[in-house]
Amino acid sequence: MTSTTPGPSSRPDLRVGMVGYAFMGAAHSQAWRSAPRFFDLPMNPRMQVLGGRDAARVADAAQRLGWASTETDWRRLVERDDVDLVDICTPGDSHCEIAITALEAGKHVLCEKPLANTVAEAEDMVRAAEAAATRGVHSMVGFTYRRVPAIALARQLVAEGRLGEIRHVRAQYLQDWIADPQAPLSWRLEREKAGSGALGDIGAHIIDLAQHITGDRITEVSGQLDTFVKERPIAADHSGLSGTAGESQEMGRVTVDDAASFLARFTGGAAGVFEATRFATGRKNAIRLELNGSRGSLAFDFEDMNVLEFFDAEEDDETAGFRRILATEPTHPYVGAWWPPGHGLGYEHGFTHQVVDLVHDLAGGRPPAPSFADGLQVQRVLAAVETSSDTRSWQQVPA
């Protein structure tokens, strides 16, 4: 019997307009495409329109990434009747304006982290998000690492009390992509575009993860920022993450931090030690988290992302030890939708899980998490670290 596969008739569409199509745009596209193939979603995401300034490039990206149409002006994209949700994948300096315009136009918003480049902008966004929420329009900030199964499992174990009282939080985000002084300038090294450097780009992730997993907030910090290489060659093509300097000998100033480290205090009393750097030679994307509690400990490293290490202090001494939990069992968060045990997931799956959670929340009328308010709070921690680095003393994080 030959049949044509019918469309998913019973579910409402969720028509997505995405702005930006570089690294994050590619990851989000794969997520919108894959989520309904593996998860039973209450809405049917449609990759409706892709926004970008350069007509030729955005057209090319739309074809490659699978978007049905394009807009060269994000304001047009935001206004379109056939768009229900705006997915913001641009550099941080444009998040505030796009997000607020979209929310006011009645569109749900998924906004990449960091929420904004300044606390003031983030505060404006939170106000807009809260106003929109009263009209059933929702927003979410994209801290996708929360949705790595091993990390979601970590959150779960802490929430179940398996760690007891948390005393230590150790968090590092280590990369090395500009350890070479000849690596060219990019927008990520310019304060106007990126807001900050390692601190905001990757430090934001470990701040969010540490707070999310512990269920606690950071109340004060003492930090230091470093810019080890103060001038870099200007790349011919100055738009992307990567690129080589080519023949250009022109140098430009690096206006953000190369590395940030800070001590922190959590509401629950835990002592935190954080470090984010792009100069950890040999570490490519090492998000390392360790928690020590009165009943147990956890350790995670994104370079082995399907594994969570867990020490249960209630085991007897003879056989106690850090367990290498391969977080690929059907009982682990998100995993049942994928492959049999031991068949690991990759980086992009976190984005797919983000779409899954977001769609469920939108369909259920629930405010998604992390909210813009959560994003603002991370922003306040980042700002406190910067102030602390300037004043050379501890700095409170406003509640």
Within residues 55-74, the interface with a second copy by CB under 8 A covers 55, 59, 62-73
Nearest distance in Å: CB 289, a second copy: 14
Closest alpha carbon to 191 in 382, 391, 396, 393: 382
| 41: DSSP letter | -
What one-letter code names the amino acid at 286? A
Give Cα separations from 282 to 178, 286, 288, 318 (angstroms).
Answer: 11, 10, 14, 36
Backbone angles phi and psi of 250, in degrees to 5: -65, 140
Task: Name which of 223 and 368 has its Cβ closer to a second copy.
Answer: 223
- Binding part of the chain for a second copy, among 19-27, 92-100, 199-207, 373-381 by CB under 8 A, reads 19-27
Nearest distance in Å: CB 324, a second copy: 5
Task: Name which of 293 and 370 has its Cβ closer to a second copy.
Answer: 293
Q: In the window 163-182, what residues touch a second copy (CB under 8 A)?
A: 167-168, 170, 172, 174-177, 179-181
Q: In the window 95-124, what residues touch a second copy (CB under 8 A)?
A: none
Nearest distance in Å: CB 273, a second copy: 5
CB 97 within 8 A of CB 76: no
- The 3-state DSSP class for residue 71 equals strand
Q: Where does residue 248 rank: exposed (0-12), middle (13-18), buried (19+ CB within 10 A)?
A: middle
Nearest distance in Å: CB 62, a second copy: 4
- Binding part of the chain for a second copy, among 24-32, 98-106, 196-204, 356-364 by CB under 8 A, reads 24-32
Q: How many positions of this chain bind a second copy (CB under 8 A)?
A: 121
**Applying CB under 8 A, does 241 fall inside the site for a second copy?**
yes
Binding mask 249-288 for a second copy (x = CB under 8 A): ----------x-xxx-x---x-x-x-x-x-xxxxxxxx--
CB 224 within 8 A of CB 261: yes
Task: Name which of 321 and 398 has its Cβ closer to a second copy.
Answer: 321
Task: Render 214-233 in DSSP notation, one character per residue.
Answer: HT--EEEEEEEEE-S--EEE
In whole angstroms, how large is the CA radius of gyration of the chain? 21
Nearest distance in Å: CB 117, a second copy: 22
Task: Name which of 61 and 362 has its Cβ closer to a second copy.
Answer: 61
Per DSSP, which regions of 159-258 are E strands?
A: 166-174, 218-226, 231-233, 251-253
Task: Name which of 165 and 192 has its Cβ closer to a second copy.
Answer: 165
**Applying CB under 8 A, does 12 fall inside the site for a second copy?**
no
**Applying CB under 8 A, does 187 fall inside the site for a second copy?**
no
Measured distance CA(111)–CA(259) in Å, rounded? 24
Q: How many CB atoms lie within 10 A of CB 161?
A: 11
Measured distance CA(181)–CA(296) in Å, rounded? 42
- Binding part of the chain for a second copy, among 33-41, 86-94, 114-122, 210-218 by CB under 8 A, reads 33-41
Measured distance CA(179)–CA(174) in Å, rounded? 11
**Applying CB under 8 A, does 6 fall inside the site for a second copy?**
yes
Q: In the window 376-395, what residues touch a second copy (CB under 8 A)?
A: 392-394
Binding mask 192-221 for a second copy (x = CB under 8 A): ------------------------------
**Applying CB under 8 A, does 37 fall inside the site for a second copy?**
yes
Nearest distance in Å: CB 346, a second copy: 3
Task: Show the CA angle centred on residue 151, arms to residues 114 and 272, nearest 5°.
Answer: 65
- Binding part of the chain for a second copy, among 32-40, 109-117, 124-132, 182-190 by CB under 8 A, reads 32-40
Q: In the window 292-351, what residues touch a second copy (CB under 8 A)?
A: 292-297, 302-313, 315-326, 328-332, 339-349
Measured distance CA(271)–CA(170) in Å, rounded? 8
